[in-house]
């Protein structure tokens, strides 16, 4: 019953998404048939809003997400949004710009789609790679400005639509080129899909497919208020909605995941050395003890204290003392296996947990730490007076002792060694 219910939940959610999408498309078609200019303003306005939100989120969350791919998508789309907005204002019947007509709006459409295709073609370059984003974004801005100038001021942008003949050969050839560029970008993206977040990859590929279908529709109309023109704009909404789902929402989730990961890490990690803190050490010890109880293994525990550490702080200052602690933490980490646990309990007191180690192995690790510490002290002017005292204790599953009892035993052994010096 549980598995049937768990399978029904995603199925119901998918059905709800399909139903809501169908309702949205039906509503858009109804609006388009009643008032095409209002329909067109809704579609282009949605794409502009998605582009701007994508840019804002990608820029603001880059500190946490560290995703150059998302950032480039946001920067490129806000440039494209400028051309889309001009396309909206210049659409035939809007009357906002002096040059509002079918040809001007179509020219701006082609300019924006060329930039969109170029952006998609460049996406694979930003996968796990640092590129000069400012230079590339500046080039896109320059290209958009040049196209806008060619349409409005230079009067050199080729004619795309005439009232007599409809779409011109340049418009049809441009749509074919945009489709080819977008398809090539999708293929290149597919070659590196293993390096991309699966959700983001699906969103980008779906957006590319919807864009290709949209551009095909824009090769078949002869009236800027016609059904094929409407179909092309609806497919554009589908493409931008995919970007919204895969880019904007991912851009929100990724930094939040990163923030919570940092918070979780700060709760169990020492900020100076990066080792576990006391709380993290206790959690790791409880986990290892539970495992050892099931497998019958032993756990070795070391408690280490730097002798005469206070003298370092008094002589060289606390910054030098911090560097000494970080170096000793590195020595501890280099003396044990990756599966062992190393922690800074506070001050100059450190602990090591050795799952599966017997008493002889734990003593051998302690001896290795002493040798490495003394070798470092001899070669360091700051740490030259330092030594280390290490207490060793062993825990076996039959024992009823908890981690605090184990560490008290190691603490007594450490102070016995310190007293013997």
What are the domain boundaries of the chain? 35-267, 278-419
For 35-267, CATH gives 1.20.1070
Q: What is the pLDDT of residue 115?
A: 93
**Whole-angstrom Cα distance, residue 194 to residue 201?**
9
pTM for the full predicted model: 0.60
Phi and psi torsions of 317, nearest 5°: 100, 165
Q: What is the pLDDT of residue 140?
A: 85
H or E element in which residue 387 lies = strand 387-395
Catalytic residues, which ones?
348
For residues 250 and 197, is the Cβ–Cβ distance under 8 A? Answer: yes
**Whole-angstrom Cα distance, residue 164 to residue 328?**
83
Contacts 24+ apart (CB under 8 A), 281-289: 281/341, 281/343, 281/345, 281/351, 281/353, 282/403, 284/341, 284/343, 284/353, 285/341, 285/353, 285/403, 285/406, 286/403, 288/341, 288/353, 288/355, 289/395, 289/402, 289/403
Q: What is the pLDDT of residue 350?
A: 95
For 278-419, CATH gives 3.30.70.270
Chunked mean pLDDT (size 10), the chain, 421 residues:
45 72 85 92 92 83 71 88 94 83 92 93 79 78 92 86 91 96 93 82 91 94 91 92 77 55 67 89 89 87 93 90 93 92 92 92 94 93 91 85 86 91 74
Q: What is the pLDDT of residue 59?
A: 78
């Amino acid at each position: 019953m549980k598995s049937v219910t768990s399978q029904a939940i995603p199925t119901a959610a998918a059905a709800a998404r399909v139903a809501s999408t169908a309702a949205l498309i039906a509503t858009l078609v109804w609006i388009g048939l009643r008032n095409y200019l209002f329909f067109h303003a809704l579609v282009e306005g949605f794409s502009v809003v998605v582009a701007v939100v994508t840019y804002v989120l990608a820029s603001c969350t880059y500190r946490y997400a560290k995703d150059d791919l998302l950032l480039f998508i946001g920067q490129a789309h806000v440039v494209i949004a400028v051309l889309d907005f001009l396309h909206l204002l210049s659409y035939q019947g809007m009357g906002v710009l002096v040059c509002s007509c079918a040809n001007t709006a179509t020219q701006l459409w082609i300019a924006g789609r060329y930039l969109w295709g170029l952006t998609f073609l460049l996406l694979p370059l930003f996968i796990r790679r640092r590129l000069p984003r400012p230079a590339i974004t500046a080039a896109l801005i320059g290209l958009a400005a040049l196209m806008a100038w060619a349409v409005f001021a230079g009067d050199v942008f080729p004619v795309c639509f005439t009232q007599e003949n409809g779409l011109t050969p340049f418009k049809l050839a441009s749509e074919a080129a945009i489709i080819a560029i977008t398809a090539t970008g999708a293929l290149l993206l597919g070659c590196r899909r293993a390096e991309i977040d699966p959700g983001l990859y699906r969103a980008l590929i779906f957006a590319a497919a919807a864009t290709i279908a949209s551009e095909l529709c824009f090769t078949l109309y002869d009236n800027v208020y016609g059904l094929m023109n409407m179909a092309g704009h609806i497919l554009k909404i589908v493409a931008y909605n995919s970007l919204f789902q895969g880019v904007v929402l991912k851009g929100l989730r990724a930094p939040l995941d990163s923030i919570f990961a940092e918070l979780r890490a700060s709760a169990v990690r020492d900020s100076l050395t990066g080792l576990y803190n006391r709380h993290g050490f206790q959690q790791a010890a409880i986990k290892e003890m539970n495992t050892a109880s099931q497998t019958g293994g032993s756990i070795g525990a070391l408690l280490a204290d730097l002798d005469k550490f206070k003298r370092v702080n008094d002589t060289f200052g606390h910054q030098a003392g911090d560097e000494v602690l970080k170096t000793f933490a590195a020595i501890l980490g280099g003396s044990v296996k990756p599966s062992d646990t190393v922690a800074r309990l506070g001050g100059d007191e450190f602990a090591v947990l050795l799952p599966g180690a017997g008493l002889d192995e734990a003593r051998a690790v302690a001896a290795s730490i002493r040798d490495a510490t003394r070798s470092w002290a001899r070669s360091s002017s700051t740490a030259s007076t330092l030594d280390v005292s290490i207490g060793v204790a062993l825990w076996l599953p039959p024992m009823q002792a908890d981690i605090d009892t184990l560490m008290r035993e190691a603490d007594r052994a450490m102070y016995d060694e310190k007293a013997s010096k």
